Amino acid sequence: MFNLLIVDDEKYSVAGITQGIDWSDLPIGNIYEAYSVKQAKELMNREHVDLLLSDIEMPGDNGIQLLEWTRENFPEAETIFLTGHANFSYAQQAVHLGSYEYILKPIDYEELKKVIEQALKEIKDKREAKAYQETFRHYHDRWVQQKPLLIERFWQDLLSQRIAATPDNIDEAIHLYNLPLSSNQTVLPILISVEHWNKALDTRDEEIMEYAIRNSAAEILLTGGRGVVLQDRSGVNVALLYNSTVGEDGLAELKERCRLLLEAASRYFYCEISCYIGESAELIHLPASYKMLLEQEQDNMTRSNDVFLWSEPWKKSAQVIPFAPAEDWLVLFEAGNKQELLKRLDNTVQELRERDTTSDTIDMLTTSIKHLIYRSFHRKGLLIHSSYAVRGTIRSLSQFQSWAEQALHESYEVYHGQVPDTRAVIETIHQFIAQHLMDEGLNREEIAKHVYLNPAYLSRLYKKETGISLSDYILQARVEKSKSFLSDTDRKVSDIAEAVGYMNLSHFAKVFRKIVGIGPKEYRQKYSK
């Protein structure tokens, strides 16, 4: 909940706002009142204020002076100004000092409520961004300082079977690393699989956040016992609980701790994970126990963000694919009926989601789609394009569907005489952005859907071909369009901001000044034709 402070020397104006607006559906905990700048300062020194709604022209110190004081003492508080006069110099000062909005009296209470609602949302978004930055910075510092530990190297060597799993070899390695272990002690492995990132991160940031996940796993899973959380040589995160032989009650508690880790990963580290709880085993049997967990994770194609036990039955039997993309699919492809082909693909995936789909099924599906493309191309004497190959490992039905849709789309264009190239893709992206600049929600995912590319691959392709990131281009395109409006038209700045995707005038002005070096109004005065 947020706290609101209303400042106006006219008491009836304050009462009109507090009583004229239905506040029940806004996340406001307290509404404070002040009738002078002095009272406002005293109240803000006593109570936490998130949003300041202030008149500008008051006896003594005015609202601009209050904003200056607030910026110095409570920089996270946002300010909305009210005034009965359209004083341009006041507006300039308000924008310069970073006020959220500037509203003329008489006040339209519905309009004011909408502005307050938007301001509260921006305050919430800023706080969440700050919390993320603080979390990221905390773990980044620890990650930089952290050095490889000998104990991690030992476990990595054992799990990857670089150390032969015999008592003599294990005891020799334990002695070499001077570890407080023995070859006959039991260890319970828990595989921690990062399945999906909910926030766009580059490789380095993913590594940092996985380090944070391992730290969180150590705090949650190793509570009351000894153990270690590390990353094996293939990049899989695993927790190893020492001397851990659990009964039914202990297993239920361990599953609950795993679920707490799933919640923490989603809330703090912007990802979805699953935990695979293995069987307690002596060190000589641990590599085999861990390999079983890896196979279980690899074969899991339908369930995610969950906790699994090694003892759960896991179906690996061969499945019947609910279609045979042979003659009927081939006819659709060659006849140019792409929509029906994609519809059948979608129906197939939806049907498989209701089953326990294994990695073997995914492999068969992938092979079937490739066979369809190769066979049709061979008939027509066309060369197979390398982009139809599978990029990375397909480990879920969603990944398969994304690849299959892209492969069928690209091969269809080539087969029917419309060969796409990188330049054409970039041009299509630029055209899409130009047509959707006013969409506040314009993002990488929407653009990727339009050009039938994986979002992460799209970002890498665009950066490689143009030298700048996709987000930077969108920002530049919006600024260039707004510069054109400012110099060639007499449209209001607020209308121009909305036309290039900014619903908040203050935010637009800040972005424009950062990119161009001067504010929108200054730019219009300097370059207006």
The per-residue pLDDT for range 271-283, each reduced to its tens digit, is 889 999 998 888 8
Flag whether pLDDT at 155 surpasses 50: yes
Which CATH number is 513's domain given? 1.10.10.60
| Residue 155 shares a structural domain with residue 259 | yes
| Residue 158 shares a structural domain with residue 206 | yes
Flag whether pLDDT at 264 surpasses 80: yes
Neighbour count for residue 308 (Cβ, 10 Å): 21
Predicted local confidence at residue 319, as pLDDT: 47
Cα–Cα dist 286/237, whole Å: 15
Residue 240 lies in a domain: yes
pTM exceeds 0.75, yes or no: no
- Top pLDDT among 344 and 86 is at 344
Q: How many domains does the chain have?
A: 4
Residue 142 lies in a domain: no
Most confident of 5-9, 143-147, 374-378: 5-9
Residue 444 lies in a domain: yes
Give residue for tokens 């300062």: 41
Identify the band that residue 96 occupies on the pLDDT scale cut at 50, 70 and 90.
low
Residue 357 lies in a domain: yes
Using a 10 angstrom Cβ sphere, with 0-12 exposed, 13-18 middle and 19 or more buried, the burial of residue 336 is exposed
| Residue 302 shares a structural domain with residue 333 | no
Flag whether pLDDT at 147 surpasses 50: no
Mean residue pLDDT across the chain: 82
Q: What share of the chain is helix, strand, coil (3-state, %, to 5)?
A: 55, 10, 30
Owning domain of residue 56 = 2-125
Using a 10 angstrom Cβ sphere, with 0-12 exposed, 13-18 middle and 19 or more buried, the burial of residue 420 is middle
Rounded to the nearest 5°, which phi and psi values hold at 200?
A: -65, 120
Dihedral, CA of residue 250, residue 294, residue 212 and residue 464, to nearest 10: -160
Which CATH number is 47's domain given? 3.40.50.2300
Predicted local confidence at residue 318, as pLDDT: 43
Q: 400, 365 in Cβ contact below 8 A?
A: yes
Q: Which residues have CB under 8 Å from 53's CB, separation 6+? A: 4, 5, 6, 7, 17, 79, 80, 82, 116
Two tokens, residue 285: 């049997």
* Over residues 144-168, mean pLDDT: 75
| Residues 352-370: tens digit of each pLDDT | 877 766 777 788 888 888 8
Flag whether pLDDT at 4 surpasses 90: yes
Q: How far is CA 367 from CA 364, 371, 384, 390, 392, in A?
A: 5, 6, 15, 10, 15
Give residue for tokens 């308000």: 94
Residues in the chain: 529
* Over residues 385-410, mean pLDDT: 73
The helix (run of H) or strand (run of E) holding residue 411 is helix 397-415
| Residue 198 shares a structural domain with residue 302 | yes
CA 295 to chain centre: 28
| Residue 447 shares a structural domain with residue 398 | no
| Residues 20-44: tens digit of each pLDDT | 889 989 999 999 999 999 999 999 9
| Residue 112 shares a structural domain with residue 161 | no
Flag whether pLDDT at 71 surpasses 90: no
* Over residues 445-454, mean pLDDT: 75
| Residue 442 shares a structural domain with residue 385 | no
Residue 316 lies in a domain: no
Q: 238, 214 in Cβ contact below 8 A?
A: no
Residue 36 lies in a domain: yes
Predicted local confidence at residue 62, as pLDDT: 85
The DSSP output letter for 74 is -
| Residues 205-256: tens digit of each pLDDT | 888 888 999 999 999 998 666 888 998 887 889 999 987 667 777 888 899 9
Cα–Cα dist 523/508, whole Å: 13
- Top pLDDT among 179 and 161 is at 161
Which CATH number is 247's domain given? 3.30.70.270
| Residue 368 shares a structural domain with residue 350 | yes
